[in-house]
A and B are shown apart, each in its own frame.
Chain A
């Protein structure tokens, strides 16, 4: 059983306070949507959860089977996808996935990766360099990367950005799968994406609301 526990989290950049006093906990099969106006700290909070930024105050604890996981172990449990995330443009989509799998200690055969590309709507484009991809195709490829390790905790920043209708359908499936597998946290201001959460954290009011 996995759980994510946030205690009294605060982040400042220099003298500018982004947020403070964030507390919540999520258990398996729970999902949280973080909302708030631009600059409220949604992406910053996700980056702290992903281990990309250190909080100024507070703790992020990840427990798997009642054991607190350290930074190295967390990397295996968490995946993060965001429009800010850049893949290697000079490599092909297949090379990107092969590298990202190998470096995480995962061993995929090219056929398996090609199948994943097909399922993500990138059939026949695996051998193309990522620099020739549209922003929507890159977004699909980022989801493939994020799902390589079948994460216990999936963090998505503005998940629907750059996606067309089939892409949004793919996102629906990814989110449905993740809700069965573990924890989902996503940051968005898109009203259509709020439905993905069981809980909503509004960083403007620093309060929770629950979707029944």
Chain B
């Protein structure tokens, strides 16, 4: 038998790397995420045309694109395990905690990759100016963390449902509403060049939201994952 040396983190990284490798070969989520984001962005850009929009509206549009792109891709992390019938195998070999942490990490990396694609496109296509870049970056990272914590546990719930369809977006919307309101406000402040201290309130809310969602999801996952 092989030596027993793995720590909890190496088990989580094994789960993450498995999903990452699998994604590179199947493009199960990545294509859906990127295509949805680019198409939405193009449609928004064309529909606005020559109109000049306020930074508040641009911030809202930015997060609408992120939200719906996330809805189209992040749920797949558990749905593909159920559809490929590999969830039984996972249950046999890994603890619910390490599975959740691995899937959460994978979704976070996927979302951050999506944002790396969307942000420059949004800036170019909609003339979105970011006057306080570091505040924007903090809002983006904390917002993504909260978004991923909430959507990963919802993805696990939806994967068990017989009718998956629109359930993910329907369940996610009320849970993500406070997060969306705050990220839009924070992004607007960063866009207008507000100082870090002016955006601190939004950052505190985003941080608290991410912590609460992470702890709640972590505790709930065991009940969702097991029969």
Measuring CB to CB, which residues of chain A are less than 8 angstroms from any residue of chain B?
Answer: 50-54, 72, 75, 79-80, 84-91, 95, 99-109, 112, 129, 145, 148-150
Contact = CB atoms under 8 A, between A and B. Distances in A.
A84 B89 CA distance: 10
13 contacts: A54-B226, A85-B85, A86-B88, A86-B89, A88-B86, A91-B21, A91-B25, A95-B21, A103-B14, A106-B3, A108-B2, A148-B1, A150-B1
A52 B98 CA distance: 17
B57 interface: no
Q: How large is the interface on B (under 10, 10 to 19, 20 to 34, 35 or more residues)?
A: 20 to 34
Q: Binding site of A, secondary structure by majority: helix, strand, loop or mixed?
A: loop
Interface string B3-24: 1111000110011011001100
Contact of B92 (A54, A75, A101): A75
A88 B18 contact: yes
A106 B1 contact: yes
Contacts, number: 88
A102 B11 contact: yes
A106 B10 contact: no
A190 to B, nearest CB: 22
Contacts of A52: 88, 91-92, 227
Contacts of B93: 75, 100, 103-104
A108 B4 CA distance: 9
Interface of B: 1-6, 10-11, 14-15, 17-18, 21-22, 25-26, 84-86, 88-89, 91-95, 98, 226-227
A145 B90 CA distance: 12
Nearest to A112: B2
Nearest to B7: A105
A73 B84 CA distance: 27
Contacts of B4: 105-107
Contacts of B3: 106-107
A108 B6 CA distance: 11
B89 A105 contact: no
Closest 9 CB pairs of A and B: A102-B14, A108-B2, A105-B6, A86-B85, A106-B2, A90-B25, A150-B1, A99-B18, A107-B5
A101 B2 contact: yes
A99 B6 CA distance: 12
B6 A106 contact: yes
Contacts of B6: 102, 104-107
B84 A86 contact: yes
B22 A90 contact: yes
Contact of A105 (B11, B17, B84): B11
Given A102-B10, A103-B18, 18 more contacts: A51-B92, A52-B88, A53-B227, A72-B95, A75-B92, A85-B88, A86-B84, A89-B84, A91-B18, A91-B21, A99-B18, A100-B93, A103-B15, A103-B93, A107-B2, A107-B5, A108-B2, A145-B89
Nearest to B87: A86
A88 B98 CA distance: 18
Contacts of B11: 102-105
A112 B2 CA distance: 8
A99 B14 contact: yes
A182 B131 CA distance: 67
